[in-house]
Structure 1
Amino acid sequence: MMTKTPGGQRPPEPLGTATRRAALRLLDAVLRRGDPLEAALANATRALHGGPDRGLAHAIAAETLRRLPDLDVLIDSATKQRLPDDAKARFALRIALVQVLALGTPPHAAIATVLPLVDGGPKRLVHGVFGTLMRQGAALAEIPTLPADTAARWRAAWGEDAVVAAARAIAAPPPLDLSLVADDAAPGGESLAPRHTRIEDAAPVPDLPGFAEGRWWVQDLAASIPARLLGEGQGRVLDLCAAPGGKTLQLAAAGWDVTALDISESRLARLRDNLARTSLAATIVRADALDWSPKAPFDAVLIDAPCSATGIFRRHPDVLYRVRPSVIAEMADLQRRILARAADWVRPGGTLIYATCSLEPEEGEAQLAAFLAERTDYHVTPATARELPVGIAPRDDGTVRTLPGTLAEKGGCDGFFIARLTRASA
């Protein structure tokens, strides 16, 4: 029971406890309910009053997810009986340990701000386990351990080297990639492709030169490849499942007449904001791709399909814990239906780009093989090295697959599958 003051009131919680409570809510949303970390952020941090506190809560939760298996090994080494995975004491210890071992928080501050999270619970156990690990000089490995089921799945698909590269990649947030309205719009950094720059240790995005003037937008280098394979504007293009809109902006900057379709109004609002900021133009349609039909065929259709998003694990480590085989199968079925429907919206001789930010073959290679077996009026038009960023090459079949380890010496990139298809002429 919490000690009360002589007046009968609970003593005030240590400064910063509310932020740690928000981090606990975030972790609970991801690990127990399977919610995306970003989607849970607003509700989990509603009691916090400032952006820095919300940012810290997010950083604690994200770093915990990057290091979760290793944190749990430490906790289990200092307990006689294993704490249940969903025990609040385990969550509190994860949060305390990650602050000290990865974020540089002093031990006394880390434990003081998490003990109130187990009010009415095993505070003495949490304090004792934490103290034991501190006295033992506990440390986290330089290379994190991936969740066992994720590692097994990626090992079967891509081999041990990809698993090791993924573990290295998740050790720290990746560099910031910017797509540029024009090549002369870069606020510094290293260019790995036309209209691109990569910045290490970047300031907050709104503070970077050129943001307010609309000279660029944030977009991972791999995510820019699908639109690159359409080249400069040559007619009407449909960006399907478009929001939040990086590819729409690319296509508009390249001179295409763009129609951007998405089902999410909130995500389309971000696209509208970015179009206004960059002074680029696109026709926006809010609709379900499985219900909507165009009035006329397009010269090109780009499908960055809804997927498990396991390829963006570097920035969103929650996908390592939310995505299960059932989720992959569900998303693959949705992709199949969208791809089959959108294939009819491409004019004869036109181009279809199919892409997913997934590291699962079911959402890439297998999807393409099934589509080509069904639609004999389509064939792969191979990507060429000159169309791709420096260090990324097309595969023998002409498709593009970025994996953990791709461009590792330059800071890496997200996991993507991209295929360019041409519809036979009538």
Structure 2
Amino acid sequence: MSRAPQDRTSRTDAPGVPARRAALRLLDAVLRRGLALEQALAGSTQGLAPNDRGLAHAIAAETLRRLADLDALIDSATQRPLPHDAKARFALRIALAQAVGLGTPGHAAIATVLPLVDGGPRKLVHGVFGTLMRRGVHFPEVPALPDAVAERWHRNWGEAVVEAASRAIAAPPPLDLTLQRPTQIAQAVSLAPGHLRLPSGSSVPELPGYAEGDWWVQDIAASIPARLIGAGAGSALDLCAAPGGKSLQLAAAGWDVASLDISESRLARLRENSDRTGLDLRVIAADILQWQPETPAQAVLLDVPCSATGIFRRHPDVLHRVRPALIREMAELQARLLDRAAEWVQPGGVLVFSTCSLEPEEGEAQLTRFLSEHPDYAIDPARADELPVGIVPRGDGALRLLPGTLAEAGGCDGFFIVRLRRQG
């Protein structure tokens, strides 16, 4: 059985086929090589027009959202299960994701996918797709999570969270904006001061206030760490700062902000946002484990690198490429970064620790370990007046945002957030 390829666009491809080839390369990068979808995007869509690039991304994302459902459909129409890395299975996933999920006419979905398959498997793909189309198949209302993910989250959080996560993955989430200045946008609703929420699919550059730098894109959950630091006029460090939303919040709140990140490419986006909004940031490219500030800061925000399982609604690839080994690796790195950052807070100052992960090893366990090893720190509980309505702290004042949080308003990313104050 042929395997999913790293094939390149053929000069003889008919219109529509290059975008499907790119989608195939994206899925191969995520499912076989373990790359993040966004990380693979540039290389996999090289040479495509912007519309085709967007289509390839949309097909790959829909396939990843519905992978378990797609494979169940495919397996229901084959005598023997296809290997999970077979090119025929990849091609069927792409065709069905379009026809069942994205509303592409069946004839167009299959015609643009068959050129991706050579030899005998092409007949198999055509036959299985035709069988399923004649059945009038559709996706279940609630998507199925990958078995390993559902089992892990059930063990950690219970059935209700697994059910909420399954519902959340069904469609791309809404678009959240953090406001620097009051802005009026049609169809927008506000869930907190300085926030607007728009429907999914809103074109960011075309929205009022974009060119003027009145706002930046930031999930409402991701805005909470800087909200917990609040307004100030002293020094603030934003560590692991790119792409910069939290740094912009701190600068807009009056802080003198130093934004540090190890990635030069990610800092380029931070600088673009700083230029567009007119908010002044001191940008530093450095490794936290090697860098040292000249003086301690009054406020330090550490949004650590993590498995990113909390942003699965926007990046469904994390459901398929994050394994326990990566979670352990990230947790070990986070502990080192948290200990390092703790040295840079003035007595009486605050350290806000956050992670967009749904794994306790990257949140609750980090807090427990940190407090046991740093007796000069204590939780400074989050207050209701600092938070969007509907988000409630735990009993100790830390925040755990799970699938289902703000569900009636469109949901939010998964996060663990805690404000710690260094004793004076």
Segments of 4+ moved more than 2 angstroms: 10-14, 185-188
1:39 maps to which residue?
39
Q: Structure 1's 11 and 216: CA in aligned 2 closer, same or farther, altered over 3 A?
A: closer
Match of 2:354, SS state, is strand
Q: CA contact under 8 A between 2:352 and 2:419: conserved in structure 1?
A: yes
1:115 maps to which residue?
114
CA distance in 2, matches of 1:126, 1:239: 51
AA at the equivalent of 2:87: K
Tell me, which stretches of 5 or more residues in structure 2 are unaligned?
A: 1-9
Q: CA contact under 8 A between 1:180 and 1:186: conserved in structure 2?
A: no
2:183 maps to which residue?
185
Q: How far apart are residue 247 of structure 1 and its match?
A: 0.2
Q: CA contact under 8 A between 1:66 and 1:170: conserved in structure 2?
A: yes
Q: How far apart are residue 204 of structure 1 and its match?
A: 1.0
Aligned ranges 1:229-308 → 2 under 5 Å: 229-308=228-307
Q: CA contact under 8 A between 1:343 and 1:352: conserved in structure 2?
A: yes
Q: Structure 1's 353 and 112: CA in aligned 2 closer, same or farther, altered over 3 A?
A: same
Match of 1:86, SS state, is coil
What percent identity do the matched residue pairs reach?
68
Superimposed CA distance per residue, residues 289-310 of structure 1 (whole angstroms, 9 cap, x where no aligned partner): 0100111000011000000000
Q: How far apart are residue 117 of structure 1 and its match?
A: 0.5
Superimposed CA distance per residue, residues 28-55 of structure 1 (whole angstroms, 9 cap, x where no aligned partner): 000000000001000000131x111100
2:4 maps to which residue?
none
1:4 maps to which residue?
none
AA at the equivalent of 2:367: L
Q: CA contact under 8 A between 1:186 and 1:216: conserved in structure 2?
A: no
CA distance in 2, matches of 1:136, 1:202: 31
CA distance in 1, matches of 2:234, 2:120: 64
2:405 maps to which residue?
406
AA at the equivalent of 1:281: D
CA distance in 1, matches of 2:120, 2:423: 67
Tell me, which stretches of 5 or more residues in structure 1 are unaligned?
A: 1-9
2:132 maps to which residue?
133
AA at the equivalent of 1:284: V
Q: CA contact under 8 A between 2:391 and 2:405: conserved in structure 1?
A: yes
CA distance in 2, matches of 1:65, 1:298: 42
TM-score (norm 2): 0.96
Q: CA contact under 8 A between 1:186 and 1:197: conserved in structure 2?
A: no
CA distance in 1, matches of 2:196, 2:232: 22
Q: CA contact under 8 A between 2:63 and 2:97: conserved in structure 1?
A: yes
Q: How far apart are residue 142 of structure 1 and its match?
A: 1.2
CA distance in 2, matches of 1:219, 1:62: 20
* 2:95 is aligned with 1:96: yes
Match of 1:347, SS state, is strand
CA distance in 2, matches of 1:323, 1:201: 25
Q: How far apart are residue 201 of structure 1 and its match?
A: 4.3
Q: How far apart are residue 200 of structure 1 and its match?
A: 1.5
AA at the equivalent of 2:55: L
Q: CA contact under 8 A between 1:354 and 1:420: conserved in structure 2?
A: yes
Q: Structure 1's 354 and 316: CA in aligned 2 closer, same or farther, altered over 3 A?
A: same
2:174 maps to which residue?
175
AA at the equivalent of 1:185: T
AA at the equivalent of 2:255: W
Count of equivalent residues: 414
Q: CA contact under 8 A between 1:187 and 1:208: conserved in structure 2?
A: yes
AA at the equivalent of 1:291: Q
1:13 maps to which residue?
13
Q: CA contact under 8 A between 1:14 and 1:112: conserved in structure 2?
A: no
Q: CA contact under 8 A between 2:175 and 2:202: conserved in structure 1?
A: no
2:25 maps to which residue?
25
Superimposed CA distance per residue, residues 276-323 of structure 1 (whole angstroms, 9 cap, x where no aligned partner): 000001111100001001110000110000000000000000000110
Q: How far apart are residue 209 of structure 1 and its match?
A: 0.6
Q: CA contact under 8 A between 2:172 and 2:200: conserved in structure 1?
A: no
CA distance in 1, matches of 2:200, 2:383: 32
CA-based RMSD of the aligned residues comes to 1.1
Q: CA contact under 8 A between 2:173 and 2:200: conserved in structure 1?
A: no
